Structure 1
Amino acid sequence: MADTYFLLVCDDVPHDVVLTDPGIRVLDVAQVVRRLTGLSLWRSKVLATRVPSLILVGVPQEDAEAAVTALSAAGALAQVREQPEPGFLKS
């Protein structure tokens, strides 16, 4: 019996939110990071100051865009990045 492998294709490709620059208002950005991640304020501030940092991993595109909008409103620069395909599936 031969083994068969299937690649499941879903409509919603996971996305990452990357903070690239916290801007001038680092504490405001840290509070937004805290709201998005559920981390403590201290850990959120550390995450906000060490850029580039991954804020959210593997979220739907709508959630990622909402997070980038919230970070931008606080004065930060952030990006939505599509997660790459796993390497073992490439031919």
Structure 2
Amino acid sequence: MLTDPGGRVLDVVQAVRRLTGLSLWRSKALATHVPTVLDGVPQKDAEAAVVALGDAVARSVARERRAPDFLRN
């Protein structure tokens, strides 16, 4: 989850593009408007994405997605 794109938005957009494989336009939309960059990836990949976004001077966190209550038993 991207919490703050920081001052160097273009670097963050390029990092998002490398992580997702999306076009530059869609990566910019993700980096500036949508907090969730990657969804449903293994924790190891999420932590690598946090490091990559951190290198681009963005603040981000890897959050574990909780299963809905009806699936947990």
Asked if TM exceeds 0.5, the reply is yes
TM-score, normalised with respect to structure 2: 0.91
Letter in 1 for 2:36: L
Which position in structure 1 is the counterpart of 2:32? Answer: 49
Partner of 1:77: 59
RMSD: 1.3
Task: Give the corresponding residue for 2:21.
Answer: 38
Which residue of structure 2 lines up, in the alignment, with residue 27 of structure 1? 10
Between Structure 1 and Structure 2, which shows a larger proportion of helix residues?
Answer: 2
Distance 1:63-1:90 versus aligned 2 partners, 3 A rule: closer
Matched residue, 1:66: 48
CA distance in 1, matches of 2:26, 2:44: 25
Per-residue deviation at 1:87? 2.1
Q: Which runs of 5+ in 1 are unaligned?
A: 1-17
SS of 2:40's partner is strand
Shift of 1:83: 0.7
Task: Name the % identity.
Answer: 66
Structure 1 ranges of 4+ moved more than 4 A:
none
Calculate the TM-score normalised by the size of structure 1. 0.74
Distance 1:45 1:90 in 2: 36
| Number of residue pairs matched by the alignment | 73
